[in-house]
Structure 1
Amino acid sequence: MTAPAATAPGSTAGAALAVLPRVLRQALGWADAHRTGFVLPPDVLEPHTQVNSTLKPLGELAQLCTTIRRSTEPGTPEHGTAGDLIAFAWEQVRAGDLLLELLRGEPFAAYPYEIYAAFAGHGLRNEGFERLAGTLSSTRGWAHTEQHANRELGLINSERRVGAAPHADAGAVLARTWLGGLSEPWMFEGPSGYALTHTVFHITDWCCVPERMPADIDAYLRAWLPPWIDGCLESRQWDLTGELLAVAAALPGPPPTALLDAAWPALATAQAPSGAVPETGPLIPVPESPETAGPGGPEPDPYPFLACYHSTLVTAFAAALCLKRLTAHRADGPAADTGAAV
């Protein structure tokens, strides 16, 4: 298979490094300034509560900030902010006790386990949760829960983080995924794109262990990430673009610098002055006013929280990963760019 050599013509060497610090700082700053959007409601344990608008955002905040903290230098503002946001999220789940209550109420639901694993990846533990989770994960019902392959990989990675024995072989599960099958690249679209990105997140422990990626998948992604990202940028799929850029940062070996230099300036244009990045669609212009124009004024927020929180977190997550990889690559000296297929 042969793929185009870059995401966009005329990319400038070093263009990604020129925008990444600002993109990361502003996106993470937006999350910090919007903590109220992640606060759990008092009735979060009630059956009528919508998990996707309560626990899901908080779990994503914890998970992505865990990787951001692991990818940033101690002593930097971003490292500190990521740690503060993890601590805030841990307080919201009452140091794991709320997740224990969820697990008791839904013993074979994966999401309490996966949210807990995000905190476990940061070293935060709850003895009661792990005791019950250990009992549940040893059952036949747990081992035979029916779910999509990429979701099962997420559970396997969560088991690793918590310290439980994986209920299935990760390699066998990976082979059943869209990505593991090295599907025809022209079959790529939104759902398969998100399945692909999460497959990578789970096999690389949220992009922190690139060496877990098999060589054939590495080669496949290096060949086809450029046109896929190009298509996402053209169709204004900002959230999926961010996830694919995180995948690019999770490739073992040298980072695909030409791809990152072409894509990051384009994604940076989708970031509002407040730091928010919309999930999809055209950008909403921010009108200037005496209250918002000029240095020091508060930046208006053009998007509702639920329309931008995930894409903004993903942008910060991908920016931290790419900044770390590109900075290390530059320090190591010039090497062959592997951003395209041959």
Structure 2
Amino acid sequence: MREARGTRQVAEDALAWVSAQRAQFALGDDALAADGQVNRSWKPLGELAQVCATVTRHTAPPDPLHACAADLMAFAWQQTDEGELFVRLQRLEPFATYPLEVYAAMAAAGLRHPGYEAATATVARTRGWRLTEQEPTRRLGVLNAEARSGIRETGAMPQALRRTWLAGLPEPWTFEESSGYSLTHVVFHLTDWGRAGPDGVPPDLADYLADWLPPWLDTCLDAGMWDLGCELLAVAASLPLLPEPTALQDAWARIAAVQHPSGAVPERGSGADHDSGPDFLTHYHPTLMAAFAATLTTRRLDDAARADTHQRPGGQGVLG
């Protein structure tokens, strides 16, 4: 379990940096403005909530990692005025999907606003909402957000899945950065961001990823693409079979090597340009992904170790 402890440390340090930077995730006065920069306001807050929902799911309440994630989730919910801002956003932009996607991350942790859900469900019944043209991966994300928020069941997800790059089982040499981010999010939506377990990945996709994810991951890490590398590690921890232990340990050692003493992880590059401290906008997402992937990996390694202990001859069984 040596690698599990190392991976756990990556998660702790990453979330510690995120916690120290919480003020940067706060919504500003332009959160409801028509010309507001969603990618600098709602997007970071939603990603914070998404990761914290998974961390709290896979850690026990007495765990300091759980406590940190729960505290950050409470902060995120407070930033939305306990859901009231979603209601106002829905009135201003009734056909925008990003408010629902951010809300769904919080709903996954049990933070709900019935009024917002009712208002959004009304819009979601319109043809205009159902027929909005979206990229396949984004469509999958919206469907997952609807299911999380109790607006609609996930019956349409298999059809949406088959339109994605990953579901086509493309030639492995066609993998590139954009397709890499696409496939990671397909797996995230299928597994409800690691909350539903590896059974959400269809067998044909799981087999395909078991073969090709390791070389893709190695290529990304060689290129210093730490953000995508962390996302691929999260995918690896979401599959029925983990990669070979040596490959997994090497990948996490490389992530740990570029992690700043503060806990921040750079998006790409050597990680040596930290003289003035990690910049929030270029570090928050890979740092969140490091915490996300490390938490999932640690949980899978712990589960595997417990299963191995129970299966050893003479060892105590589950009820022993």
2:272 paired with 1:284: yes
Q: Distance in 2 between matches of 1:110 and 1:251?
A: 28
Question: Matched residue of 1:269: which SS?
Answer: helix
- Residue 163 of structure 2 corresponds to 176
- Residue 220 of structure 1 corresponds to 208
**C-alpha root-mean-square deviation of aligned residues, in Å?**
1.6
Whichever residue aligns with residue 84 of structure 2, its letter is D
Structure 2: 5+ residue stretches without partners: 312-320
2:293 paired with 1:305: no
Pairs within 5 Å for 1:169-208? 169-208=156-195
Question: Matched residue of 2:100: which SS?
Answer: helix
Deviation at 1:282? 1.8
Task: Confirm or deny: 8 A CA contact 1:222 1:256 kept in the other structure.
Answer: no
Report the count of equivalent residues: 309
Whichever residue aligns with residue 33 of structure 1, its letter is A
Structure 1: 5+ residue stretches without partners: 1-13, 288-300, 336-342
Q: Aligned match of 2:245 in 240, 248, 257?
A: 257
2:31 paired with 1:50: no
Hey, which of these two has a bigger chunk of helix by percent?
A: 2
Deviation at 1:15? 5.4
CA change 1:258–1:171 in 2 (3 A) is: farther
Q: Distance in 1 between matches of 2:91 and 2:83?
A: 12
Higher RCO (CA-CA < 8 Å; seq separation 6+): 1
Q: Distance in 2 between matches of 1:168 and 1:138?
A: 15
Deviation at 1:262? 2.1
2:228 paired with 1:240: yes
Whichever residue aligns with residue 207 of structure 2, its letter is A
- Residue 271 of structure 1 corresponds to 259
Task: Confirm or deny: 8 A CA contact 1:93 1:99 kept in the other structure.
Answer: yes
Q: Aligned match of 1:333 in 294, 308, 313?
A: 308
Pairs within 5 Å for 1:1-342? 14=1, 16-166=3-153, 169-209=156-196, 210-253=198-241, 256-284=244-272, 302-333=277-308
CA distances 1:117-147 after superposition (whole Å, capped 9, x unpaired): 0111011111210110110111111111100
Q: Distance in 2 between matches of 1:322 and 1:309?
A: 20
Whichever residue aligns with residue 180 of structure 2, its letter is G
Q: 203-212 or 326-335, which moves further after superposition? A: 326-335
Q: Distance in 2 between matches of 1:257 and 1:101?
A: 48
Question: Matched residue of 2:151: which SS?
Answer: coil
Task: Confirm or deny: 8 A CA contact 1:254 1:329 kept in the other structure.
Answer: no
Q: Distance in 2 between matches of 1:27 and 1:236?
A: 18
Identity of aligned residues (%): 48
